[in-house]
Chain A
Amino acid sequence: MRSSLTFRKCGFAISLLLSPGVGISMHAQNGDDAKNPPIFKEIEAAQSGIVWVHDNAMSEDRYLPETVGPGGAFFDYDGDGWMDIYLVNYGTSDFHKPEAPPQNALYRNNGDGTFRDVTREAGVGAGTFGMGAAAGDYDNDGDADLYVTAYGRAILYRNNGDKTFSNVTEEAGLTAPGWTTSAVWFDYDNDGLLDLFVCSFVEYGLNRHIFCGDNELGRRYYCIPRVFKPTPSYLFRNKGDGSFEEKGNGTDIGRALGKALGVVATDINNDMLMDLFVANDTVQNFLFVNRGNHSWEEIGLFSEVGYSASGQARSGMGVDAADFDSDGWQDLFVANVDQEMFSLYRNAGDESFRDVAYAHGITTATRQLSGWGLKFLDFDNDGDIDLFLANGHPDDMIENYSTRVTYKMPLLYFEQQDGKLQNSSAKAGPVFERKLPARGLTVGDYQNDGRVDVLVINNGEPPLLLSNNGGKENHWLGLLLEGRTSNRDAVGARISWSVAGEQTSLLKSSGGSYLASHDPRLVIGLGSRTKLDWLEIRWPPPSDKVERFTDLPIDRYIRIVEGKGIQ
């Protein structure tokens, strides 16, 4: 006993003594110098012009919505080919009535690495107690519309095509009352129109508030959502006339009472019907498999993504999907709260999954972390999928209770090498030494250099814009796909290509991460190769077109329009 205690105390002392040295060593390892630039470099607000700060409305009563947001989006609102940024703030709610409600912000990309606040002229300030955003061209008119989720009142902003938006929530039938979190645009019924899935969290309101407190400290803290009642999420079918109808009711989506925080639309069984993986907090995760004809089957338990290996529901928050092992099947990821570990689910190809997080070092790296925004992506354009994770504990008082878990947490970057995801955070940049109250995470190539950048959206703090400098030596091809018969955003498209005789493919999923929406373009990493043999697009239904292209350029973006080729 005594030796154990002595060890702990000594260990603490040693870590204090070593910490400055460790910091110096990491800094050098991070290579923050001109010769060896870090993979991700923080872009200061003074440089980017993004001066918006999230107001987390933290009160002594610790109302739960205060700690759950915010999110945002990379999207090209004005169609100029440069990714703009939308950031969601906490405005008015039943428990929060500021005199001047904080506004959401739309930042226009000036094309030179700087942004300009165009919120007022675009008319997207909202003023609601916002949560996240999902961008998509639901009316197939060629510009990106925006759905903003919230505690209290969600908003659909239709893009007018003249750099302004109109709030069309009511006429579209997308009011989605309650507390909505992540949302995703996708075409579930293959009619060529984007439908909308909206995560609903818990039953909540001033008249339903439950107080969680610590009498010893004399303070309240954020309740674990276990104490609140679950709710069904929404599935809105696009009717094609600017309005939507709720179609989840009467299906497994309507029957599944959850506490949904994260969602990704993907195709887990390669049947050309988009499925939904939904992360729930304190209840099982849902995997809604699209069986066609408006029929959904929830298979979370049987597919083994619903619960932990020991049969426990965890605190699912961020999710994503990608074929990380290039076997042709979409794999899944879910981030949970500390001690629960995150899961990397490998698709077995039979509508079941196995958690392989441990084999990739993810379990060990995330044991003390609570994860929100996250994204699978080939960040260094070497041809395989990497992983970026944004973390932060929901309880600002956690450090009063835990010696290991902190309120603010570091980012993590896993780079895939030889088929394994390796924790490469230590060499990814000095920013990985910082701790953040991260929530949303969106990815977009705001510099159009083929290296997809990252925006981490923090609770109660400014967002963190990270410029991606990874894989500068690698080649790439960027694709903007435009459907004509299929949905305009080409969600569900399958892209295959061959480089030096080696074939690869990817599915254009939608959503993923947490409260976030991403650059709709796809970047294909070519590594050191300088030529694609061919590239094939299988457009999503109702289109039956499969188009093959050769003699493609590299190191630039191209726009491919269904049936019309490269534009």
Chain B
Amino acid sequence: MSRDYPAALGEFEKAASLNPSLPALQAFYGKALMAVGSREEAARAFRAELRSDPHSYEANLYLGVLEAEERRHQEALRHFRKALAVRPESIEARYQLATLHLTMEDSIEALAILEPIVAEAPAFVEAHISLATVYHRLGRREDARRHRSVVAELNAKKQAQAPGAGDELGPAYRGELPKPPAPSQEPPQRDPSQGDRK
């Protein structure tokens, strides 16, 4: 996956000129816009998607992320819950909901979501970080330390997979949302795009 979002934007625009009502087009267009930092335009695209498909998982999830960034917590909650109504098993949507609860200082709600996530995806490092934070807030220091150790182990494994001297790495973009690892529950393989630009 090249994650070349600027190129993708051009392709989405071409697709839209051919068929503006293509299913899910606005959601993917919004995601590409979000990746290049065009948040307002991304939010408009997600809203356009939701007008044609109020149950769009992607549009609800990513619009929720944008609303959370703008501290419109209730709006974000509403969108995450809609995304989860479509895909209740989605670790990505559950994780976004958990971090929103964390931001809202609702540690108990966050805990209830995060514990099953790390059980299902033990290599999801961001989830361990958030869970350690929750435990620490709740005064469960031993649990917090345990998950911090897991974070250190996962990060060390990731670092060990870093490219070596002389490697040539291709372009890609940063700013992706935290992604749970593949269903195999293995730590993510080294992404060749790790050499992307700052």
Bound-state CA distance A394–B129 (Å) is 28
Interface flag for A368 (CB, 8 Å): yes
Report chain B residues within 8 Å CB of A397.
Answer: 197
Among the 9-residue stretches A304-312, A379-387, A467-475, the one with 4 or more Cβ atoms under 8 Å from chain B is A304-312
Contact of B102 among A224, A309, A340, A368 (CB under 8 A): A309
Contact of B166 among A2, A210, A226 (CB under 8 A): A210
Structural contact, B177 and A210, CB atoms closer than 8 A? no
Bound-state CA distance A4–B163 (Å) is 40
CB distance from B188 to the nearest CB of A (A): 13
Structural contact, A226 and B165, CB atoms closer than 8 A? no
Structural contact, A8 and B41, CB atoms closer than 8 A? yes
Structural contact, A227 and B195, CB atoms closer than 8 A? yes
Structural contact, B195 and A208, CB atoms closer than 8 A? no
For window 358-396 of chain A, which residues contact chain B by CB distance below 8 Å? 358-359, 363, 367-368, 370, 393-395
Report chain A residues within 8 Å CB of B125.
Answer: 311
Bound-state CA distance A403–B167 (Å) is 29
Report chain B residues within 8 Å CB of A312.
Answer: 126, 178
Among the 9-residue stretches B13-21, B55-63, B78-86, the one with 4 or more Cβ atoms under 8 Å from chain A is B13-21
Bound-state CA distance A368–B102 (Å) is 25
Report chain A residues within 8 Å CB of B174.
Answer: 224, 337, 339
Bound-state CA distance A230–B160 (Å) is 11
Interface string of B29-45 (1 = CB under 8 A from A): 10000001111010011
For window 120-144 of chain A, which residues contact chain B by CB distance below 8 Å? none
Bound-state CA distance A229–B6 (Å) is 29
Which residue on chain A has the smallest CB distance to residue B167?
A: A210
Structural contact, A213 and B194, CB atoms closer than 8 A? no
Bound-state CA distance A21–B190 (Å) is 49
By size class, the interface of chain A is: 35 or more
By size class, the interface of chain B is: 35 or more
Interface flag for A52 (CB, 8 Å): no
Interface flag for A502 (CB, 8 Å): no
Contact of B127 among A301, A311, A398 (CB under 8 A): A311
Bound-state CA distance A315–B96 (Å) is 21
Structural contact, A227 and B166, CB atoms closer than 8 A? no
Which residue on chain B has the smallest CB distance to residue A338?
A: B37
Structural contact, B165 and A403, CB atoms closer than 8 A? no
CB distance from A256 to the nearest CB of B (A): 10
The interface residues of chain A, by DSSP majority, are classed as loop
CB distance from B10 to the nearest CB of A (A): 11
Interface centre among A7, A224, A315, A340 (most CB of B within 10 A): A224
Report chain B residues within 8 Å CB of A310.
Answer: 96, 99, 126, 130, 177-178
Interface flag for B144 (CB, 8 Å): yes
CB distance from B159 to the nearest CB of A (A): 7
Which residue on chain A has the smallest CB distance to residue B48?
A: A4
Report chain B residues within 8 Å CB of A257.
Answer: 159
Which residue on chain B has the smallest CB distance to residue A405?
A: B37
Interface flag for A404 (CB, 8 Å): yes
Report chain B residues within 8 Å CB of A315.
Answer: 198
Structural contact, B197 and A5, CB atoms closer than 8 A? no
Which residue on chain B has the smallest CB distance to residue A226?
A: B194
Structural contact, B196 and A224, CB atoms closer than 8 A? yes
Structural contact, A212 and B197, CB atoms closer than 8 A? yes
Asked whether A302 and B194 contact (CB < 8 A) given A1-B29, A210-B169, the answer is: no
For window 209-268 of chain A, which residues contact chain B by CB distance below 8 Å? 209-216, 221-230, 257
Bound-state CA distance A518–B125 (Å) is 38
Which residue on chain B has the smallest CB distance to residue A306?
A: B129
Structural contact, B197 and A309, CB atoms closer than 8 A? no
Asked whether A339 and B37 contact (CB < 8 A) given A224-B196, A283-B155, A302-B144, the answer is: yes
Structural contact, A311 and B99, CB atoms closer than 8 A? yes
Report chain B residues within 8 Å CB of A359.
Answer: 71
Structural contact, A402 and B195, CB atoms closer than 8 A? no
Structural contact, A229 and B197, CB atoms closer than 8 A? no
Report chain B residues within 8 Å CB of A307.
Answer: 126, 129
Structural contact, A304 and B133, CB atoms closer than 8 A? yes
For window 1-58 of chain A, which residues contact chain B by CB distance below 8 Å? 1-2, 4-5, 7-8
The interface residues of chain B, by DSSP majority, are classed as helix
Structural contact, B38 and A404, CB atoms closer than 8 A? yes
For window 308-356 of chain A, which residues contact chain B by CB distance below 8 Å? 309-312, 315, 337-340, 352
Report chain A residues within 8 Å CB of B183.
Answer: none
Structural contact, A311 and B36, CB atoms closer than 8 A? no
Contact of A403 among B36, B69, B151 (CB under 8 A): B36
Structural contact, A402 and B37, CB atoms closer than 8 A? yes
CB distance from A529 to the nearest CB of B (A): 36
CB distance from B34 to the nearest CB of A (A): 9
Bound-state CA distance A207–B166 (Å) is 8
Interface string of B135-171 (1 = CB under 8 A from A): 0110000001000100100010001001111111111
Interface centre among B151, B168, B173, B197 (most CB of A within 10 A): B197
Structural contact, A1 and B194, CB atoms closer than 8 A? no
Interface flag for B103 (CB, 8 Å): yes
Which residue on chain A has the smallest CB distance to residue B44?
A: A4
Contact of B126 among A215, A311, A393, A398 (CB under 8 A): A311
Which residue on chain B has the smallest CB distance to residue A212?
A: B195
Bound-state CA distance A301–B136 (Å) is 9
Structural contact, B20 and A301, CB atoms closer than 8 A? no
Report chain A residues within 8 Å CB of B155.
Answer: 283
CB distance from B47 to the nearest CB of A (A): 10
Structural contact, A210 and B151, CB atoms closer than 8 A? no
Interface flag for B123 (CB, 8 Å): no
Contact of A210 among B20, B127, B165, B175 (CB under 8 A): B165
Which residue on chain A has the smallest CB distance to residue B165?
A: A208
CB distance from A117 to the nearest CB of B (A): 33
Interface flag for B132 (CB, 8 Å): yes
Report chain B residues within 8 Å CB of A393.
Answer: 198
Structural contact, A223 and B136, CB atoms closer than 8 A? no
CB distance from A311 to the nearest CB of B (A): 3
Listed by A's residue number, 16 A-B pairs whose Cβ atoms lie within 8 Å are: A1-B20, A1-B29, A1-B48, A4-B41, A4-B45, A223-B169, A225-B198, A302-B132, A309-B99, A310-B96, A337-B198, A358-B71, A395-B198, A401-B171, A402-B6, A404-B38
Q: Known pairs A212-B195, A397-B197. 7 more at Cβ < 8 A?
A: A1-B29, A4-B45, A209-B165, A210-B165, A211-B167, A222-B198, A311-B127
